[in-house]
Structure 1
């Protein structure tokens, strides 16, 4: 209850408490069908009114103090709840925004020459995808049906950002999964020379049959050499995706941060109004 409402209520009650007995006294002093007579002299009534008004004022003061105390306690409780809610909101939003990290997708570019580490980074991207999914679903479950303008604005930006992250993670994991193993230039040159020697030695009608182990090794060399152009094409696609990650950050993460700040400011304003 606002202070102004309390004061208006108390003043109204005070006025009525004083006027009602005066009005009754006037009515009782008139000629009535019941022939009601008022007992007592004027000084007695004057003494009564003095005591009555004093009692009324004392009661009103006590009543006013009680109302202000109740209002203060209620307002203090609301302030505490709003402070806790605001603190939790800041923590939740900070946690989720920190997860919207497009740079985590591009870390794999640092280990492209190491096949095993590429596989490890791919597993980390899968974990990242699961983490995003879990946190998004939990947050969306609480706020998806909210009609509050700031909440709905944040959820739209948050949803779009997570969807873009999902798309980029999926694209990167698919590219890494198809990426052939790295073949160093010196090793590729040695493989090519071995293939040429093999062809000169074992091709032709009169050429002897190659040993099975050597034939399998040359087949492996041919496969690895043929995979080099494919690897270069996939790396080119990976680099293109990595170059796009910064623009995705600007287009999707920044709006989420802005919407989160506006939401926090709105809740802070509610807290300030309670404290006023």
Structure 2
């Protein structure tokens, strides 16, 4: 309409072509411009949509990668915690104590005690390394509390059995020498026990130390005939250890709570993508 109005106005110089031709030209030209503008707009919107979709897909891919990584960590954590809980082998301690009760204080028993110490240290180290990567939570705090209790109690019984093995292996035959030997051994043993228990008590709230073998030996008092007392001494110390077996079940419950929380946290990674 605007072009048509302009074309019917007086002109200052001659123009090639008639009004109909020029009206057709400008109509085509304007149509092409409008079509190009619409095409550019559509292209812009498509690029915008593709960009948004690319961001969504990239975030989804990153979430899947993170999910798989966290799932691998969870598998490692599950294996480490289960192995750690199983490494508190009270059955093996009972078997070793049974050997002591039967009068066997040999290198086989020493090797078995050494294995238990190495096993619990190795698996405990793996478990704590993985737990240190986790955020603090009630389940982790509860695990650490139970872990410290059972780990220290378990370490005490292993150390005391090893010390008792040393005591019995190097026992003099002469009764007077035997008494002096045991008294001297107990003196250093009690100092060491006191230091260890004080450290543990200060480290763990509400920690109640077990009755040690040195205290049991002292209460029996028959140093000259300790071979005859050995069976009762080991049995009495073993009863103290049996009380700790419930801590192993508590540890299992803590592990289940940790794994459940971690599983739920990992599921939210994909849901938030």
Tell me if TM exceeds 0.5.
yes
Residue 137 (structure 1) shift: 4.0
Distance across 2 between alignment mates of 1:112 and 1:249: 20
1:83-162 equivalences in 2 (<5 Å):
83-112=71-100, 115-116=103-104, 118-140=106-128, 143=131, 148-149=136-137, 150-162=139-151
TM, length-normalised to structure 2: 0.58
Q: Please, which of 175, 179, 184 is the counterpart of residue 164 of structure 2?
A: 175
Counting matched residue pairs gives: 192
| C-alpha distance in structure 1 between counterparts of 2:228 and 2:252, whole Å | 37
Q: Select which of 209, 232, 235 maps to 1:236.
A: 232
Counterpart in the other structure of 2:195: none
Where relative contact order (Cα < 8 A, 6+ residues apart) is larger, the structure is 2
- Cα 1:80–1:140 change in 2 (3 A) is closer
Q: Deviation digits for residues 53-105 of structure 1, max 9, x if unmatched?
A: 32233222322321222122111111110111111111111111111122221
Give the Cα–Cα distance (whole angstroms) in 1 for the partners of residues 36 and 105 of structure 2.
97
CA distance in 1, matches of 2:109, 2:148: 25
CA distance in 1, matches of 2:39, 2:269: 40
Residue 242 of structure 2 is aligned to residue 265 of structure 1:
no
Unaligned runs of 5+ in 1: 1-39, 182-225
User: Is 1:103–1:245's contact at 8 Å kept on the other side of the alignment?
Assistant: no
SS at match of 2:243: helix
C-alpha displacement of 1:141:
5.2
C-alpha displacement of 1:167? 0.7
Gap regions ≥5 residues in structure 2: 1-26, 171-221
Could you tell me how far 1:159 is from its partner in structure 2?
2.5
CA separation of 1:147 and 1:82: change in aligned 2, threshold 3 A: closer
Contact 2:83–2:123, Cα closer than 8 Å, also in 1:
no
Q: In the TM superposition, what is the alpha-carbon distance from 1:108 to its structure 2 partner?
A: 2.1
